[in-house]
Every structure is written in C-alpha cells, then in structure tokens.
Amino acid sequence: MTKVITYGTYDLLHYGHIRLLERAKALGDYLIVGVTADDFDKNRGKINVQQSLMERIEAVRATGIADEIIVEEYEGQKIDDIRRYGVDIFTVGDDWVGKFDYLNEYCEVVYLSRTQGVSSSDLRKEKRSLRLGLVGESEILKKVANESQYVNGMQVSGIYTEDEKSVRDFLSDIHMYETYDKLLENSDAVYIISSPQRHYHDIRYALEQGKHVLCESPITLSEAQCKELFIIARENHCVLMDAIKTAYATAYHRMLLLVKTGIIGNPRSIDATCTSIRSVDMSDPKAMERSWNSISAWGPTALLPVLQIFGTDYNDERIITWMDNEEYHYDAFTKIDFCYPGAVASVKVGQGVKSEGELVISGTKGYIYVPAPWWKTEYFEVRFENPENNRRYFYQLDGEGIRYELVSFVRSIESGKCMTNVDESISCEVSKTMEKFMNNEIIKIY
C-alpha cells in the first residue's frame, strides 16, 4: 500500500483545495491530510485565518477524500509524521517548489500544480476591506498602521488628530482629515488613542454614527460612562473593544490558561510592575492636556492579570500616588493594592520612576514568573519548591500583540460575536479605578 501525505490550512475550503486533494489521493492508496493548527499558522504569518481548526478539519473530512486527518502543530513535524506513518510520498502545491526538497531523504516529494484563479486569500479579498480610521496623537498609531498591513480584510483609511505637526513626523504617508466627521465618513471603524479625557466623546460620537470602535485603554475615566458606551454600542449593532495588546500576546494568554488549570495551586498573590521614563513638558499646557499620566498609560495593562485572575469582586482597593502635577492629575508613580477573599494583589506603575517590569503570580503549589517586560513577553517560567520540577514556556510574539488584537476586532465585526480577550466587566472596572484616581480617592506621597 502506497501512503501519501499532504498539508494545508484549508481555510474557506474551495474547489482548488478539493482538486488538489483528489490529485494527492490519486498518487497512492491511502491519503493522510495534515491540517495546520492555529498557532502554527500564526508562526507562518497566517494570522487572519477565518475558520477555527475544528471547522477546517470538518470541512476536509466532509470531502470524503482523506483516509486520515492529523493536526500539524510544530516546525519539523513533517519529518516525524513521515516516519511515524510510514509515508511513501509527500505532496504539496507547486507554489512551494523547492521548499520541501529536504524531505527527499525520507520519501518521494511531488509538487502538484494548483488550480489557477482560486485561493482562500482571493476569497477573503473579495469581501470589502474594513476601513480603519486612526484618531489621536500617539506614536502607537504608527505601530497600528504597520500591523494592519498583516491583517487580511483591513486597510487604514486615514487619520484625524488635533496635533497634525507632531503626527506628521511619524505618519506622513497616511491621509490626514481636517475634521473627525470627515474621517468617520470615510471609515467603517476607528482606532482611538486620543487623550483619555477625550475618549468618551470620541467613542460615543463614532458609535452614534454606526462606526465600530477599538479604543486604547482606559475606555473612559468614569465607570458609568464606560457602561453607557457599551450599551450604545449594542443599540447601534457596533463593536466596542478595549485595546490592551498584552491580552492578545500568545505567551500571556497561555500563562492565564495554566493558572486556571491549577498548575500553581490556588493563586494567592499577584505583583505586576509597569514603568518607563518619559519626558513631558509640564510648562506646556497643550502638552499636558494631551499627555497620558502614569495610571492611564500603564494602569490598564498592570491591572489586567489581577482582574482576569482574581476578578472584579474585591473587598478593598487602595491607591497611593506621588503626584508630579496636581492640576493635570499627572502622577510620576502610583501603587494600587487590592484585598480579595483569600488573596491580595499589588500593581505599580510610573512614568517618573524606573523599576523591574516583572509579573509574579504566587500560588499554593508554586508560582509563575514573567520577566521584564512582562507585558510583551515571549517567555515565562512556572517554578516550584523543587527546582527540578520547574518548567519554561516560549511563544513567539509578533507586533507586540497589536496584529492579533486587530484580527480579533475584524473577526468580531464580521461574525457579530464578541471575540475580545478583555471582557466588558474588566473594561468597566479599569474605568472605575481611573475615576477614583481622578476624584482624588487616593493617598498622596509628599
């Protein structure tokens, strides 16, 4: 019996896929089809696959062509599979000519010509791309614009800013609209990173115009306003998503899953630190009005693991801050302590001090250590009393998580289902903490 193996993503299965599978099956007596896992696709740059792994597997199974279906999960797996299943022929489309010649050492390699004019990428492109408008002054806009190029079904439509001169320095190639209205007219959705004080107005106005919104956290500086905006979004059938890119980093997401499995027992303490040294001209009123203070810039990220692991039902919250500028609520450093039933948490954020930006989650059986900068890590450790049991985890991170965040945004809009990694309740809790800070419900350090 001649065994044949082939691999693919098989997203939006079409006639071209089926024809290729039929020709692969004709090469032998038994066809094994490897369907690539979501994470493996990410590592290969295919980050906007439309269907889940199970949907793609079922689509291949429904053709009735494959005798066996397996999942491709790691680089080098093809060699293992060829040996494990006793494969005689490896085959793939001729757009990969030469790429898999190294497999000739293990079996015969056959490149098949593809059906012309049909591809999953073309099918995705047939749908009109989501036009994403950019709002604000931050240099993060450049990162968002760059990362959007990796996302199928998205294109940047332009930018609206109140400080065109500063934005021109890093976004000179993107069309700038003179008014917010003009940007919204030419966009289906907006990414907002205006000053936190403007978020409520900018988001509400966009939602009322029927535009989807991805907003850099905090969404608002008031819990009531945050809840109101989510209600408006639902009423207008729009997506409102909180843009905390760390939530979409593979390593961070896997770390959360491990905590929930009980690998470190019951989590009892979380310590999260996020700091940076940034220069703000405090003598310039315009600069201060548009600046992000420490708690706004770093608070949502530092609060994320606390609220996602321990939840929002804490007994007490205490905010201690060193204020650089009272008038503009600009804090050089802020520490927030939480008391939960049976657990505690502490977050430290600052733009006027520098500290080790690490994350430590302590449990009854062990602890998780994420080194600096933990908010964009590719690596973390699970540590135990006996060091021999320690385990290390590595996951590739592309675009600091921004591109995965954009993919989730597009998928949420296309599917009409919430695909966010940041629950609405967490967004509102972050806004609640910001409100306490703005209302001076804090302990000041002098």
The pLDDT tens digits for 32-87 are 999 988 765 555 554 567 777 888 998 999 999 999 999 998 888 999 999 999 99
Q: What mean pLDDT is predicted for residues 140-168?
A: 89
Closest by CA position to 329, among listed 161, 190, 441: 441
Look-up of token digits 């695909």: 419
> Residue 125 pLDDT more than 60?
no
Lowest mean pLDDT among 66-75, 282-291, 405-414: 282-291
Q: What mean pLDDT is predicted for residues 148-169?
A: 87
Contacts of residue 91, defined as CB under 8 A and 6 or more positions apart, other chains included, come to 4, 5, 6, 23, 24, 27, 109, 110, 111, 112
Phi-psi region of 399 (alpha: psi -120 to 50; beta: other; left: phi over 0): left
pLDDT band with cut points at 50, 70 and 90 for residue 129: confident
pLDDT at position 339? 98
What is the pTM (predicted TM-score) of this model? 0.80
**Backbone dihedral angles phi then psi of residue 107, each to the nearest 5 degrees:** -165, 180
Mean pLDDT of all residues belonging to the chain: 90
Lowest mean pLDDT among 188-192, 247-251, 363-367, 428-432: 247-251
More confident residue, 121 or 204: 204
pLDDT at position 123? 47
Determine the Cα–Cα distance for residues 156 and 129; give it in Å rounded to an integer: 10
Does 3-119 match 246-444 in CATH topology? no
User: Which DSSP string do the residues of 281-294 spell out, in sequence order?
Assistant: -TT-HHHHHH---H
Selected from 3.40.50.720, 2.40.50.140, 3.30.1490.190, 3.40.50.1000, the CATH number assigned to the domain covering 123-243 reads 3.40.50.720
Closest by CA position to 190, among listed 164, 216, 167, 166: 216
99 to 20, 104, 208: CA distances (angstroms): 18, 11, 51
> Residue 124 pLDDT more than 60?
no
Determine the Cα–Cα distance for residues 85 and 416; give it in Å rounded to an integer: 41
More confident residue, 288 or 93: 93
Structural element, H or E, at residue 166? helix 164-168
pLDDT tens digits, one per residue of 327-341? 778 899 999 999 999
> Residue 110 pLDDT more than 80?
yes
More confident residue, 398 or 251: 251
User: Which DSSP string do the residues of 177-235 spell out, in sequence order?
Assistant: -SSHHHHHHT-SEEEEES-HHHHHHHHHHHHHTT-EEEEESPS-S-HHHHHHHHHHHHH
pLDDT tens digits, one per residue of 370-379? 999 999 999 9
pLDDT at position 179? 96
Determine the Cα–Cα distance for residues 352 and 330; give it in Å rounded to an integer: 10
Determine the Cα–Cα distance for residues 13 and 29; give it in Å rounded to an integer: 23
More confident residue, 69 or 12: 69
Taking the CB of residue 63, how many other CB atoms lie within 10 A of it?
A: 15
Q: What is the CATH number of domain 3-119?
A: 3.40.50.620
Q: What mean pLDDT is predicted for residues 376-395?
A: 94
pLDDT at position 73? 86
55 burial level (CB within 10 Å; 0-12, 13-18, 19+): middle
Taking the CB of residue 143, how many other CB atoms lie within 10 A of it?
A: 16
User: Which DSSP string do the residues of 322-369 spell out, in sequence order?
Assistant: EEEETTTTEEEEEEEEEEETTEEEEEEEESSS-----EEEEESSEEEE
pLDDT at position 122? 53
Q: Taking the chain, what is the end-to-end CA distance rounded to the nearest angstrom?
A: 81
Q: Which amino acid is at 15?
A: Y
Structural element, H or E, at residue 296? helix 294-310
> Residue 27 pLDDT more than 90?
yes
What angle do helix axes 223-235 and 196-208 make, rounded to 10 degrees?
20
Q: Where are the domains of the chain?
A: 3-119, 123-243, 246-444
pLDDT at position 6? 96
More confident residue, 303 or 53: 303
Q: What mean pLDDT is predicted for residues 412-432?
A: 92
Determine the Cα–Cα distance for residues 289 and 322; give it in Å rounded to an integer: 19
pLDDT band with cut points at 50, 70 and 90 for residue 150: confident
Q: What mean pLDDT is predicted for residues 412-418?
A: 85
Determine the Cα–Cα distance for residues 387 and 133; give it in Å rounded to an integer: 50
Q: Residue 291 is encoded by which pair of tokens?
A: 């600046």
Q: What mean pLDDT is predicted for residues 214-230?
A: 98
Closest by CA position to 194, among listed 104, 282, 291, 279: 291
The domain covering 246-444 belongs, at the CATH homologous superfamily level, to: Dihydrodipicolinate Reductase; domain 2 (3.30.360.10)
More confident residue, 288 or 161: 161
